[in-house]
Amino acid sequence: MSGDQECDLLFTGATVFDGTGAAPVMQDVAIAEGRIIAVGSGLTLTAAETRDARGLALAPGFIDVHTHDDLAVFRRSTILPKLSQGVTTVVTGNCGISLAPSPLVIRDVPVPPLDLIATADDYRYASFGAFLDAMRAAGPAVNVVPLVGHTALRARVMEALDGPASADEIAAMRRDLAEALDQGAAGLSTGLAYPPAKGSTTGEIVTLATDVAAAGKLWTTHMRDERSGVVSAVAETIDIARRSGARTLISHHKCCGQAAFGLSRTTLAMIEEARAEMPLDIDVYPYTASSTVLIEAYVRDSRKVTISWSDPHPEMAGRDLAEVAAEWGVDVNEAVGRLKPGGAIYHQMDDGDLERILTWPPSLIGSDGLPRDKRPHPRLWASFPLVLGHFARDRGLLSQAQAVAKMTGQTAKVLGLADRGRIAEGCAADVVLFDPAEIRAVADYDTPDAPSAGVTAVYVNGQLAYAPDAPDGAGAGQVL
């Protein structure tokens, strides 16, 4: 590399995790105009800024493949939980829930779980294109891969959401889906476990997923059952993927409730077998507690339930549900009724399943964080450092290089992002610098909103986006 070539930023002596899962190598990395222009040892480019990165890991910025950040990306303060972990790209609109097109066409309030991400006032974008225009104008701090939600589409056209859609309703959903895909949606998400989508038939999803496949886009799914029926839910997902031809991503794969413990042996075997004939992937968050809206059945299956938000009783956020019920002198179901609309953290999974799914080589890491929760599940602030620190370095369940690949290179492949997720010449300069010996989750169930330790700096498209104590910059994120 000749000394007359110029770059904006040169990292020297970094321990480079390239995103492929390969063991890290000490290298220099040069960035110009938002791209990685050279990777090698002893680079001699003329650099506007040189950063000594000895002792630090340099990795592709993490891709949070499962988020509910549709609204959070509009402001730096609300996307800070992700930036501060090293995340440079978020996939929004998961679990059937998307901010656009607005589900408030024939009703004025977002039905649960649409209320997980926004209030009625924030559901203001009539089209997916209007949502993306507003996001671009706001200048997001991270890149965004936006999905459109099936439940949002259903809510736009169906009076009663508890049954199957009629032929006319499916036709109307297909028009809205086609428009959203055309205007920039990266795919469709479904949330079939939730009441407003549970009534949809397999055929309804096959029809919509076929349109997604025709557009060359992605279908992500919070499956119909993640409890004792998880095996049949995986079978349904594989059936839909096969009949539609859509690239498919199973969201936050897990086995909830004691009756489901151990079933990940079966589900992973099924998924592995199906992968031989179709593009099918899964993501996972690194915790044995889930979090979503208040649902009685989830309460029954849980060891412990913590209230994460409640509209009628905001003061109960962070409290143990059983304690609140005892204090009120009512049973738990009655307490849930009084707390709704609201959300909770459900301790309901087994470590064995979590570890099996997390260490399964193809699985991707996604946080499923809920940025609107008053008292959020710690996955919002700490999923990525928890995997790199606790699960990889401290417990050795996987290598840090494998962990990085599950957050970067493997994810970019599944999303079809050809120039992200790797440290390689020509790739976009989404980069995280972290201390591999120090990186760790700080946020936990008791202190859910704390930045992680060991993340030194985060660059999005070549611009410094996060460093502890650094001044705020304008967002350099793009809609991908």
Task: List interacting residues with Zn ion (CB under 5 A).
Answer: 95, 222
Q: Choose between 69 and 368: whose C-beta lies nearer to Cu ion.
A: 368
Residues 218/209, Cβ–Cβ less than 8 Å: no
Q: Choose between 86 and 191: whose C-beta lies nearer to Zn ion.
A: 191
Cβ at position 341, least distance to Zn ion in Å: 17
Give, to the nearest 10 degrees, the angle between helix 321-328 and helix 332-339.
100
Cβ at position 251, least distance to Cu ion in Å: 6
Does 290 contact Cu ion by CB under 5 A? no
CB nearest Cu ion: which residue?
95
Q: What is the SS3 assignment for 248?
A: strand
Q: Choose between 95 and 142: whose C-beta lies nearer to Cu ion.
A: 95
| 28: partner contacted, choices Zn ion, Cu ion, none (Cβ within 5-8 A by kind) | none
Binding Cu ion (rule: CB under 5 A), the pick from 31, 53, 79, 95 is 95
Stretch that binds Cu ion, among 95-103, 298-306, 408-416, 422-430 (CB under 5 A): 95-103
Cβ at position 75, least distance to Cu ion in Å: 20
C-alpha closest to that of 372 among 449, 299, 259, 263: 449
Q: What separation in angstroms does the CA of 146 have from each of 114, 123, 235, 283, 286?
A: 16, 15, 27, 17, 23
Of residues 75-94, which lie at the interface with Cu ion (CB under 5 A)? 94
Cβ at position 5, least distance to Zn ion in Å: 47
Q: What is the SS3 assignment for 383?
A: helix
Does 114 contact Cu ion by CB under 5 A? no
Cβ at position 95, least distance to Cu ion in Å: 4
| 190: partner contacted, choices Zn ion, Cu ion, none (Cβ within 5-8 A by kind) | none
Residues 408/60, Cβ–Cβ less than 8 Å: yes
Using DSSP bridges, classify how beta strands 143-149 and 87-92 pair: parallel, antiparallel or unpaired. Answer: parallel
Q: Choose between 309 and 434: whose C-beta lies nearer to Zn ion.
A: 309
Does 250 contact Cu ion by CB under 5 A? no
In sequence order, the β-bridge partners of residue 342 are 310
Q: Choose between 350 and 368: whose C-beta lies nearer to Cu ion.
A: 368
| 463: partner contacted, choices Zn ion, Cu ion, none (Cβ within 5-8 A by kind) | none
Burial (Cβ within 10 Å: 0-12, 13-18, ≥19) of residue 479: middle
Residue 361 CA, distance from chain mean position = 18
395: CB partners within 8 A, 6+ apart: none
Cβ at position 55, least distance to Zn ion in Å: 38
Does 368 contact Cu ion by CB under 5 A? yes
Residue 98 CA, distance from chain mean position = 13
Instruction: Tell whether the torsion through CA atoms of 52, 54, 56 and 59 is positive or negative.
Output: positive
Does 192 contact Cu ion by CB under 5 A? no
CA distance 450 to 287: 17
Stretch that binds Cu ion, among 120-128, 197-205, 254-262, 361-369 (CB under 5 A): 361-369
Q: Which residues bind Cu ion (CB under 5 A)?
A: 94-95, 368
